[in-house]
Amino acid sequence: MPSETTNDAAATDIAARVASYQQEHLLAFWDELSVEERARLTEQISAIDFAQIAELISGDSSDDDDWDAIASRATSPPAIRLSHHEKDRDELVAIEAAEHALRSGKLGVVLVAGGQGSRLGFPHPKGMYPIGPVSNRTLFEFHVDQILALNERYGVSIPLYLMTSPATHVETIEYFRQHNNLGLADDDLHFFCQGTMPAVDAETGKILLADRGEIFVNPDGHGGMLEAFDKSGCLNHASSRGVEQLFYFQVDNPLVSICDRRLLGFHLLRESELTTQVIAKTNPLERVGNVVLVDGRMMVIEYSDLPESAARRTDHDGELELWAGSIAVHVFDLAFLQRASLDASSLPFHRAHKAVSYIDGNGEQVVSTVPNAIKFERFIFDLMPSANNAIVVEADVDRVFAPLKNASGAAKDTPETTRAAIVRESKRMLEQAGISVADDVAVEINPRFAFDANELPAKVTDRAVSRDTYFTPLE
């Protein structure tokens, strides 16, 4: 234990802090630690808000909400549906508004890539995963190629704000450095690192040690984006560049339609502060977050919290009432984010029971495969209820969503299913342009080659594709 004889004021201070929150075990191995290890542990402990942890363990939390009661009041959210043909004219106006905003440099992009990607089991940041079915491009390349294509098309340079976590930060920065920012200008690429939270033992509330001199911490969830975006100076940077709307997406979806014009356009027309792209659920119990309206505010009810009876409710046409499945793609009004960043309650922490391996009081490693710990995470969609005029815009799942979550062999969201979805969408574009593709042939289109199907006929001379082909601009 640190004592006066260590002559180290910081150590004495942390000893007092841990003691006042009954977390003394964090210093149990102090005497065995090297000077560097002590410094690191001191830094970790100093960064912990013990009062907040104590409150999160024992206090009220939105995780204790009465979901039966909430779901009974839930209705479908204000929506722009795909099937609303009478709205075709509105759609043209929306697309014009989106294109005008893009051309005027009012868009910024936030990519969250701080997750640990544990299900995929890839030993690098997930964005470095080679997913291109023909090109072998990484997820990061997919996203940056789309941004470069938007830049070319609208004559702008859209800034990319890329969120990492301590688990992915150094390697992500090094990857972009080694690959010349994948073509982005230095002032168009900004990394910001999200915060972490310690995990606690689910029974005792004791903070867990990952090693004798190291506290077990995890990234604070994709909802950690707002605090990190603000603290890092990126929020101010975006504002000073004239950004008014931020397109937000997750690293694991190579089909994402970045700055989707229909999504962005209706967001602008409806003066929405937060617009979410959704897909229509095909099954009431589908494992996606449900975007709903409760007491006049939009919110997400996780599939695990939605009672089956509510999930199965239908409207007078026999359609699912709670039909809108979230794909974690949002457009945020920047002024709304500025307002929300001043209000700590807008993004509460949630408790998740997870299996965590840790070091026990004897210094032994305890490997756990069952949930034994509580991790604290924030969810970005918790911003919804605070947003004015929030709406959802429906998109076709096959065109915008193919998340890479699991390793090969799992039932869904694997490298194979994601690659197949990319090939299907590329084939659809080619066929729409009157170019046939032989069965069992893999095709992939770089958006810098053709942004949409309309651009293909002028660029592809053969009317039939008979072998695996990657359509990419000649460098």
Minimum gap (Å) between residue 222 Cβ and ligand UTP: 4
Between 23 and 346, CB nearer to ligand UTP: 346
Q: Are 467 and 444 in contact (CB under 8 A)?
A: no
Q: Which of residues 158-177 bind ligand UTP (CB under 6 A)?
A: 163, 165
Q: Which helix (H) or strand (E) holds 331?
A: strand 324-333
329 is an interface residue for ligand UTP by CB under 6 A: no
Q: Which of residues 201-220 bind ligand UTP (CB under 6 A)?
A: 219-220
Q: Which residues contact 251 (CB under 8 A, 6 or more apart)?
A: 111, 112, 113, 115, 125, 126, 127, 139, 140, 143
CB atoms under 10 Å from CB of 104, counted, come to 12
Question: Token digits for 329?
Answer: 């793609």
197 is an interface residue for ligand UTP by CB under 6 A: no
255 is an interface residue for ligand UTP by CB under 6 A: no
From 207-215, 246-254, 343-351, 454-462, give the range in contact with ligand UTP by CB under 6 A.
246-254
Minimum gap (Å) between residue 58 Cβ and ligand UTP: 23
Selected from 38, 106, 126, 169, the binder of ligand UTP by CB under 6 A is 126
Q: Which residues, in sequence order, are bridge partners of residue 130?
A: 138
CA dist., res. 91 & res. 96, Å (int): 9
226 is an interface residue for ligand UTP by CB under 6 A: no
Minimum gap (Å) between residue 435 Cβ and ligand UTP: 33
113 is an interface residue for ligand UTP by CB under 6 A: yes
Q: What is the β-pairing status of strands 290-294 and 297-301? A: antiparallel
251 is an interface residue for ligand UTP by CB under 6 A: yes
Selected from 222, 267, 281, 427, the binder of ligand UTP by CB under 6 A is 222
414 is an interface residue for ligand UTP by CB under 6 A: no
Q: Of 467, 470, 415, 472, nearest to 444 (Cα)?
A: 470
What count of Cα atoms within 13 Å lies in the side-chain half-sphere of residue 340?
28
Output the residue with the shortest Cβ distance to ligand UTP.
115
From 34-42, 107-115, 414-422, 456-464, give the range in contact with ligand UTP by CB under 6 A.
107-115
112 is an interface residue for ligand UTP by CB under 6 A: yes
H-only helix segments in 242-344: 261-269, 308-312, 334-341
Q: Of 237, 220, 221, nearest to 229 (Cα)?
A: 237
Residue type, 24: E
Minimum gap (Å) between residue 285 Cβ and ligand UTP: 19
CA dist., res. 392 & res. 325, Å (int): 10
Q: Of 286, 348, 275, nearest to 79 (Cα)?
A: 275
415 is an interface residue for ligand UTP by CB under 6 A: no
405 is an interface residue for ligand UTP by CB under 6 A: yes
Strand, helix or coil for residue 107 = strand
CA dist., res. 36 & res. 397, Å (int): 50
Between 165 and 469, CB nearer to ligand UTP: 165
Minimum gap (Å) between residue 280 Cβ and ligand UTP: 21
Between 158 and 251, CB nearer to ligand UTP: 251
* Residues that bind ligand UTP in the complex, under the rule CB under 6 A: 112-119, 126, 163, 165, 194, 219-222, 224, 250-252, 405
